[in-house]
Each structure stands twice: as C-alpha cells, then as structure tokens.
Structure 1
Amino acid sequence: MSKSGEFCPRCGDDVPERPEPLPGEPRDRDAALCDACYFEQFDLVDAPDRIEVLVCSRCGAVHRGNRWVDVGAKDYTDVAVDEVAEALGVHLKAEQVQWGVEPEQVDQNTIRMHCTFSGIVRGTPVEEQVVVPVKVSRGTCKRCGRISGGAYAGEVQVRADEREPTKAERERAMEIAHEMVQEREADGDRDAFVTEAKEVDDGADIKLSTNKLGRALSKRLVEEFGGDFEEYATLVTEDSDGNEVYRVTFSVRLPRYRPDEIIDPEDGDGPVLVTSVRGNLKGTRLASGERYEARFDEEDAPDALRLGEREEAVETTVVAVEDEHAVQVLDPETFETVSIPRPDFFDTNADEVLVLKSRAGLHMVPGEDA
C-alpha cells in the first residue's frame, strides 16, 4: 500500500494513502489515524448494557414506544432476538457485515444473548462479540385488558323466523365471527376481538369490540344463511371529550326454512326440497322435479309443513318403471312394492333411489350431486 506522506497524529507512523472524499462529502476525521490507532478505539457494534421487554402475558404482544405490537413470536426467546436486533447498531464503515446470536436462558425472566459480528473495515477483517442481557417482564395489553373486562360495543343476536337455529348454524355463526377477527388481526387491527360468543336457548349471542365489526358480521351471516338483520342503538355513556357512546345490538333473523330441508307448501302441488334461501325461496318439487320459487320476505314466507331433511332419505330398490309419471319401488319400512311419482331427476338406469317417507307419502329425493 502506498504511503500518503502524512503521519499519524497519535503515534507518528506513516499513514497509508486513502481515496479522497467525493465533492460535498465530509472528510472522515479518523482518516488521519493509522490502522493500529484507528482499531484501538474502534467498536464494530454499539450495544446497550441491558434490554427490558414488556410482553403481554395473554396474547404475546410486545410493548414498543407507546403502543403494543403483535410480533407473532413463538416464545420469549424469539422476542428477545427481535428486540436485540432492533437495539444493536453496526459501525457505518463496516462492510460485508454478518452476525449470529446464541440465546442463553438464565432464568424464567432473563435471557442472555451472545452476539457475534464480523465485517470488513479499512480492508481488514474484524470480529466482535457482545453479550446483552434481556429482561422479560409480563403485563396485560390494552386489548386483552378490554377483553378480560368484558368490554364490547356491538352484540350480534342470531335468531330464526318461526324456528330455532340449528346447532350447526349457531356454531357456524360463531366460527365466522372468529374468522373475521383473525382476518383483521392479520391486517394489524388490534381493536378487533370477540369478547364473548355463546349459544343461548333460541340462537347465539356474539359480543364484539366495535359496532363496525358487528355490522360486518351481520352482513356476512345474511350472505351465507340468507335472511336479514336490523340494528338498535342504546346510549351507554360519554367519552372523555363528552361524545355520546352507543352500544348497538344487531338482530340477525335467519330464514324460516333451510337448504336441504323438505317442506310441503300449502299449494297442493306436493313436497319441495329447498335448495336456496337467499333472496327468494327456491327448491325442487319431489313429485315432478320442476323448479319451485316463492317470495321469502319475513311477511311473505309461504306456510308449509316440515317433512324432514335430505340426509334422512334412505336408499331403496327400484322394482319397475310404470310409465312417464310413476315408478315402482320397495317401501323402505314395509318392503312392499308401491308406486310413487317419477320426477325429472330420476335416472332410468338406476337400480336404487333415495326416498323419504313422511306424512305426505313416499317421495323420491335427488342426491346431492343431482
């Protein structure tokens, strides 16, 4: 390396020639030092003596600055690694920096982080090791505090028209609520949570953190199950600025009938397998296979007898095809040969068909793939 002709102001040794700074770039005040003197005072890493981390004992969120942050860590060691990575500083003159960390669990609340750094400075490989103790303390974040305190702004009450929601409908409604909260959490929304979700005698009650979330859940339930909802606001308090704070109840009413339910409308044309309850009531006539449709507003829902469910239909043997309108099958209870209507969905090559016996008689039922 060529010499610059200058001497180190500390030891007097020759200083190697270094590139001139670019126009406008400040001159490095340490450039006048020789390598030996420069590395005497050089620190590759700037590390704090100790790091303290406040972690929510319920959800694992980490308190940073003045807010709680969901870090998605699997345990407190992951949290400690992330916090050390945020706190350490590497010298700006270092190039090709690499580092690794080896955590040491001292006790339940203390993790000692052994960090090794390497890099190139002034063309010379350098390496430095630092040990940073991380003290983990536990608390409760604002969100978990609100949940444990039972705070909620919106309540979705799931009911049904002239019936009680099935267990499957109740469970699905609560499942959808938790799915929506998870979606919002993934987007960084810490204000979204389910305070309580439970089955009650006539449906399900779901308490949610915000009115916005309650309205969104009500809309999604109607999209999936059909029906409609109404909302009722109740003044509960005022905030610190004197603004009125309302709690909103969302009354979701599911349709009177459900898909795959078999009903007998009072129109004299026989039973119907319900296929859809979104918008109008849609279905298939079991006697003919023709399409059935009726208005399904709460006031206009057709009166009908409930005969059963598609899943209650059983297989029976086809004895003979009488004509275009009738088929002979074995009665699944008496095993006698009986004549039943031949609907459009009947497969003439079938040896067995699904049938449902009810107060309306014996009728063929289409399979789920029909």
Structure 2
Amino acid sequence: MSSGDFCPRCGDPVPERADPLPGEPRERDAVLCDDCYFEDFDLVDAPDRIEVRVCSQCGAVHKGNRWVDVDAEDYTDVAIEQVTEALGVHLKAEDVRWGVEPEQIDENTIRMHCTFGGIVRDTYREETVTVPVYISRQTCDRCGRIAGGYYASIVQVRAEERTPTPEEEQRAVEIAESYVAEREATGDREAFISEITETDDGTDIKISTNQMGGGVAKRIVRELGGNVEEYPTLVTEDGDGNEVYRVTYAVRLPRFTPGDVVNPDDDEGPVLVRSVRGNLKGVRLTTGEPYEAAFEEGESPDARLLGTADEATETTVVTVEDEYAIQVLDPETYESKTVSRPSYVDSDADTVSVLKSRAGLHILPDSDERAE
C-alpha cells in the first residue's frame, strides 16, 4: 500500500490505495479524494437522442448498415435494444446492475428511463438517465425496389406447340411464390416477385435476382416437365465497372400434358398420358398396358393429339365379346361399335367412359385410375 497523500484539488487526505500492477499505468484521478473524484464521475455515458429507422411498408428496422426484418407489432423492444447498445458504463464500475423503463409518449416517440448501479471505489453508485427514442418511418431498400417495379430476371412460362393450361400457369406461379417465400424465410431480403403478368402465350413472372429466376425455372421444369433456356441482356454496369445482366428464363412445357390422349406413330393404338417428367409415360388404351416413350424421344414423342380425358363421355356397354373385344354404344350415333377391350375394363361393367376421335372410339380408365 502506498502512503496516504493529499487531494490536489481540495487538500483533504486521500485514503491509501493499492499500487498498480507492474506495467499497468497509474490512474490519473487516483490522486483525488472520493468527493472530488465523484464530482466529475459519470457512471453512464448516454446519447442525447436515438433515432430508430423503421420501414413503413414491411416493418424492417435499420441496424448498422443494413435493414433487418423483425417480428414486432410495436418497436418498444427494438428501442430498448438500441438504447442498451448505445449506453456505456464506466470501466471502473463493478457488479453493475441496470434496468430500462420505457414510456410511450406518442406513436413515434418513446422515452427510455435507464437506471444503473455499480460499485466504484468500494462505494455503491446509482445513476438514472433518460434517452428519448424517435421512430423514423422510412422506406427500406427492398420495398423501394418493389414499389419501383425492379426486377433482374423474367421467367416466361410457355409450352411447345400449344398454350399452357390454366392449371399449369397457376401451378407455375405457386412454385415461384413458394420458392421466394422459402428464401424470405431464411432472411434473404433480396427475395421478392415484382410482377406476374398473363399474356396470350403464357405467364411472365418478374423476380428480383437472376439466381432466384433460375431456381424458379428449374423447379417448374422439374415438376411440370419441359426445358428452360437462358437469354441474358446487358442492362448497365455497376459502380466497379462490372456488367449487369437481366436474364430471361424461357420455360417451355412439353407438347402434351397428363390427361391428353395421343396416338404415337407406332401403330399400337392411342395412349392416355399420365406423366411428362423426363419422358412421356401413360397407358395404352387398346390393351391397358403401360406405355413409356423411348429415352431419345423424351417428353414429346412423334404423336398426334386425339383429345383429352375431360372430353370423354359415359356410354353403355352392349356386351363383352371376349378378352380382347367389347361392344359399346357410340355416344353420338347410338350405334353398336366393337372396340378393343383394355385390361382395366371389368367383364361385368355396365358403362364405360369413351373418347371419340378421328381414330375411332377409345375406352378410358375410370377417373380415379387416370392419375399417375
């Protein structure tokens, strides 16, 4: 212990204190007595005012140099957090305890009453500071881009030699929305759909980034079949001189869809399409046997569209002639016609669903058997 000294400010004796450890600088105010020391002592260093920037559209909060999504109906917790981060407690204080009591003044102003206590020079000190917090309503970068119609990629949903069905277009939009929602859930604030437009040829989906546009296009093809091609267009250069491209992802769905009745060029009879993923698969309407297009033919084999399962009508079975033939009434002329009996037609069936086309009458499976 060093011998007692006198306070250079008031002349009172200064209690003996432990000498600093070797290499540790001596505190400048150590020569002051407690009364003089605490005259200039601030337990807490607090800002005069804090501004919390909040997006008026999505509710995100600006922290540091970026916008962050928060799950809050009011911003009291956010204000408490930012005030807590902004407050500084004296390094010499030990066993520090604190509390914050918010006071809502109006919709955009919260007054934070902060109480801190701690041990300094073996003396308990307590200090209360009040920090006003102002909620500043602004527009975040993401909402600004959405409002401005910004997009970096377009997914164009089209089909080969036809227009996509309403079901296909709806499912493509659902896939896009689901993909973007997944990215949003991970905290990706760059994920959004700018616009969905229906055209005479299909649906256009404008998406915020090229990466997500490509991801959406691949998911659509994976589920609905078809292929996708990319068409980049140079639109500008960024601040570093790098070229910035907008990419169009042209999704072309297969020529045929599940539920179509097609006549492959193999002289073995029509096929009810059940799947177009990878290559066309279905059931042969003459026999009931499974059909699968050759690998090299893919999703669009050389075939002629005869109609769809939705166009089928119910007709009466006149008689089952044998294992391979059945006699039914033509739903238009009501004449008896003998047609091939596929394996899925029971021998005691009274009615069947038939599709009439240029190739004749074709018996279709029951509706619950048509799915893949």
1:49 corresponding residue in structure 2: 48
Q: What is the aligned partner in structure 1 of residue 308 from structure 2?
A: 307
Contact 1:288–1:341 (Cα < 8 Å) also in 2: yes
Matched, 1:198 2:201: no
Distance 2:350 2:80 in 1: 64
Contact 2:260–2:305 under 8 Å retained in 1: no
- Calculate the aligned-residue CA RMSD, in Å: 4.7
Q: How does 1:293-304 map to 2 (within 5 A)?
A: 293-295=292-294, 297=298, 300=301, 302-304=303-305
Report if aligned partners of 1:161, 1:298 keep a CA contact under 8 Å in 2.
no
Taking the TM superposition and a 5 Å limit, the aligned residue runs for 1:220-259 are 220-238=219-237, 244-259=243-258
CA separation of 1:369/1:158 partners in 2, compared to 1, >3 Å: closer, same or farther? closer
* SS of alignment partner, residue 157 of structure 1: strand
The CA deviation string for residues 4-48 of structure 1, in whole angstroms up to 9 with x for no partner, is: 864673684674766x76554555555666767666655443221
Residues 110-144 of structure 1 show CA distances to partners (whole Å, capped at 9, x for unaligned) of 12123344555566665543321111222223332
Mapped partners of 2:49, 2:83: distance in 1: 10
1:115 aligns with 114
CA distance in 2, matches of 1:291, 1:93: 83
Q: Distance in 2 between matches of 1:301 and 1:13?
A: 107
Q: Give the Å deviation of 1:245.
A: 4.1
* Alpha-carbon distance change, 363 to 185 in structure 1, aligned in 2, over 3 angstroms: closer
Query: Distance between the aligned counterparts of 2:158 and 2:93, measured in 1?
Result: 66
Alpha-carbon distance change, 79 to 221 in structure 1, aligned in 2, over 3 angstroms: same
Pick from 332, 357, 365: which aligns with 2:354? 357
Offset at 1:206?
A: 0.9
1:71 aligned partner:
69
Give me the whole-angstrom Cα distance separating, in 1, the residues matched to 2:96 and 2:155.
Answer: 54
The whole-number CA distance in structure 2 between the counterparts of 1:271 and 1:132 is: 79
Asked if structure 1 preserves the Cα contact closer than 8 Å seen for 2:114 and 2:128, the reply is: yes
Distance in 1 (CA, whole Å) between partners of 2:89 and 2:351 is 74
Pairs within 5 Å for 1:296-335: 297=298, 300=301, 302-308=303-309
Deviation at 1:218, TM superposition (A): 1.5
In the TM superposition, residue 52 of structure 1 has moved relative to its aligned partner by 1.5
**Separation in 2 of the partners of 1:131 and 1:244?**
50
- Going from structure 1 to structure 2, the CA distance change for 1:170 and 1:45 (only over 3 Å counts) comes to farther
| 8 A Cα contact 1:15 1:32, kept in partner | no
Change (3 A) 1:102 1:298: same
How far 1:286 moved relative to its partner?
5.1
- For 1:94 and 1:172, how far apart are their aligned partners in 2? 63
Q: Judge which range, 21-30 or 129-138, deviates more.
A: 21-30
Structure ID, larger Rg? 2
- Tell whether the 8 Å contact from 2:276 to 2:299 is kept in structure 1 after alignment: no
Change (3 A) 1:297 1:326: closer
Q: In the alignment, is the contact (CA less than 8 A) between 2:100 and 2:113 conserved in 1?
A: yes
Q: Residues 8 and 181 from structure 1, CA distance in 2 versus in 1: closer, same or farther, beyond 3 angstroms?
A: farther
Is the 8 Å Cα contact of residues 285 and 292 (structure 1) preserved in structure 2? Answer: yes
Question: Is the Cα–Cα contact under 8 Å of residues 313 and 355 in structure 2 kept in the other structure?
Answer: no
1:265 aligns with 2:283: no
CA distance in 2, matches of 1:356, 1:45: 84
Q: CA contact under 8 A between 1:16 and 1:34: conserved in structure 2? A: no
Taking structure 2 as the reference length, what is the TM-score of the superposition?
0.74
Quote the Cα distance in structure 1 between the aligned partners of 2:301 and 2:88.
71
Paired residue secondary structure (1:129): strand
Q: Look up the equivalent residue of 2:248 and give its one-letter code.
A: T
Deviation at 1:183, TM superposition (A): 3.6
AA in 2 matched with 1:285: R
Deviations 1:299-344 (A, max 9, x none): 645333232259x999x9x9x9998668999x99x9xxx9984637
Q: Given residue 195 of structure 2, which amino acid in structure 1 is its aligned partner?
A: E
Give structure 2 stretches of 5+ with no counterpart.
none
Change in 2 beyond 3 A, CA 1:279/1:113: same
- Give the partner amino acid of 1:227: G
**Whole-angstrom CA distance in 1 between matches of 2:14 and 2:370:** 90
Distance 1:13 1:155 in 2: 80
Question: What is the identity, as a one-letter code, of the residue corresponding to 1:169?
Answer: E
User: What's the offset of the Cα at 1:356?
Assistant: 3.8
Q: In terms of mean alpha carbon deviation, does 250-259 or 20-29 score higher? A: 20-29
Q: Which residue of 2 aligns with 1:130?
A: 129
Q: Distance in 2 between matches of 1:242 and 1:4?
A: 66
Give the 3-state SS of the residue equivalent to 2:190 in structure 1: coil
Residue range with higher mean Cα deviation, 192-201 or 292-301: 292-301
Consecutive unaligned residues of structure 1, counting only runs of 5 or more, are none
Bigger shift: residues 145-154 or 289-298: 289-298
| Counterpart contact for 2:274–2:371, Cα < 8 Å | no
- Between stretches 286-295 and 246-255, larger displacement belongs to 286-295
TM-score by length of 1: 0.74
Counterpart position of 1:179: 178
Q: Aligned pair in 2 of structure 1 residues 362, 342: CA closer, same or farther (>3 Å)?
A: closer
SS of residue paired to 1:303: strand
User: Partner letter of residue 354 of structure 2?
Assistant: K
Q: Counterpart of 2:364 in structure 1: which amino acid?
A: H
Shift of 1:50: 0.6
User: Structure 1's 183 and 31: CA in aligned 2 closer, same or farther, altered over 3 A?
Assistant: farther
Q: Relative to 1, partners in 2 of residues 1:48 and 1:238: Cα closer, same or farther, differing over 3 Å?
A: closer
Give how far 1:281 is off: 0.9
Matches of 1:187 and 1:322 in 2, distance apart? 63
Q: 1:228: how far off? A: 0.6
